[in-house]
Structure 1
Amino acid sequence: MIPKELTYRDRLKPWCIIRQLSNCQQLTVARFTRRPDAEAYLNALRRLMPAVPHTIVFVNALCVNELSVPIQTQLSIDS
């Protein structure tokens, strides 16, 4: 579930490593202040768990607010 607003602590660490789960969900594994730190951690994860997909994302407070809108209100279904 995507939070409606990022906390101050989360805004200090915008670089996230997420794990793609099988049911189209995401799990935040770790958060970082700098991208090189996130890349180094991602490389370690790939060495330890090569079969598990992980991705680095930059989470912006504006993006989270846009993504938190329910899908039903974003789609207009014309009958």
Structure 2
Amino acid sequence: MPQNNVTSNPEVSAYRDRLNTWAIARLLPDLEQTVVARFRSRSNAEGHLKRLKQLSPQASFVLVFDRQSETHE
């Protein structure tokens, strides 16, 4: 049976990206940051953030509301 590959459709991909509005970013030197993960709900993001801080206490992570997907064309 053939499987649907939703990532091949750009409209479906864009919609899925808009659903994941919460992100965990790792703060890097020189005011840089990188997104580690994206989540649909704030509570899921907070739970993962708590665990990341336990696993890597020397790293700096922040929880952000990512509006980039709304302005992305």
Where relative contact order (Cα < 8 A, 6+ residues apart) is larger, the structure is 1
Unaligned runs of 5+ in 1: 1-6, 66-79
Partner of 2:6: none
Do residues 59 (structure 1) and 49 (structure 2) align?
A: no
1:9 to 16, 23, 29: 16
More helix by share: 2
Partner of 1:22: 29
Q: Aligned pair count?
A: 58
Partner of 1:39: 46
More strand by share: 2
Partner of 1:50: 57
Alignment TM-score, normalising by the size of structure 2: 0.70
Q: Which runs of 4+ in 1 moved over 3 A?
A: none
RMSD: 1.7
